[in-house]
Amino acid sequence: MKKFNLTKTLMLVTLLALLVSGLIGCSNQDVQKLQGQVKSQQEQIKQITAERDKYKQAYQDLKQQTAGNTAGQVGRGDIILQSVNIVSNNIIRSGQAAGAVYGPFDIAVNIKNNSKKDLSDLRVVGELHKTFMNYQTAPKVDIRHTIVPRLKAGQSTTVTIKDFKPDHPELLQEIIVTVSGYDVVRKKPLRAAFPPGAQD
């Protein structure tokens, strides 16, 4: 019968305990590493989703803008808004701010009757939208209109919507023209400026 060796037994138990402890430690480290990888991938998915949503929104905004800004004739059905132009003596003619408006202006709208019948009492509406940059606030809107008493089939005419004023140059400003009762819109950005020689 072998003699029981307490010292060897304790050493074996200690080694076994250290081995088990090491294995458990490695296992925990592996789990933590995997958890870290999963968390990192989840963050990447969130970022990709946010980017996708941002680009989708930008695409929708661009579609809406180009619906009103497409070159050439813009409109469907009986009425076409062929052009929208700013008319004013208060436009800077040269330099970096060339084309910017610093005083009262009118809007000249070229409108065409694209139908086969004469149209009467067409209400052409001009809106000047003014919005603070980077602020989610409703725009201030100035609205004016003019009436086209009669527009014959196939005929074009230019009407003037009068008495608009630009706001502070730091505001985003846009002209939007519609015809009441018709699915047609035309947009034009407005660049505002301080009068020559004025201080901000």
pLDDT in tens, 163-194: 999 999 999 999 999 999 999 999 999 999 99
pLDDT of 74 > 50? The answer is no
Contact in structure between 128 and 141 (CB atoms under 8 Å): yes
More confident residue, 161 or 197: 161
pLDDT of residue 72: 44
Give just the sign of the alpha carbon dihedral 107, 110, 115, 119. Answer: positive
Judge whether residue 130 has pLDDT over 80.
yes
CATH architecture, range 72-190:
Sandwich (2.60)
Residue 69 confidence (pLDDT) above 50: no
Between residues 24 and 74, which one has the greater pLDDT?
A: 24
In this predicted structure, what is the pLDDT of residue 67?
A: 46
Instruction: Work out the burial of residue 63: count CB atoms within 10 Å of its CB; fewer than 13 is exposed, 13-18 middle, 19 or more buried.
Output: exposed
Residue 75 has pLDDT above 50, yes or no: no
Average pLDDT of the chain to the nearest whole number: 80
Average pLDDT over residues 127-148: 87
Percent of the chain with pLDDT over 70: 62
For residue range 77-114, list pLDDT tens digits in order: 799 999 999 999 999 988 888 899 999 999 999 999 99
Taking 80 as the threshold, does the pLDDT of residue 30 lie above it?
A: no
Look at residue 64 and tell me whether its pLDDT is greater than 60.
no
3-state SS of the chain? CCCCCHHHHHHHHHHHHHHHHHHHHHHHHHHHHHHHHHHHHHHHHHHHHHHHHHHHHHHHHHHHHHHHHCCCCECCCCEEEEEEEEECCCECCCCCCCCCECCCEEEEEEEEECCCCCEEEEEEEEEEEEECCCCCCCCEEEEEEEEEEEECCCCEEEEEEEEECCCCCCCEEEEEEEECCCCCEEEEEECECCCCCCCC
> Quick one: pLDDT at residue 24?
61
pLDDT band at 8 (very low <50, low <70, confident <90, very high): low
Q: Where are the domains of the chain?
A: 1-69, 72-190
Tell me which of 54 and 173 has the higher pLDDT: 173
75, 57 contact by CB (below 8 A): no
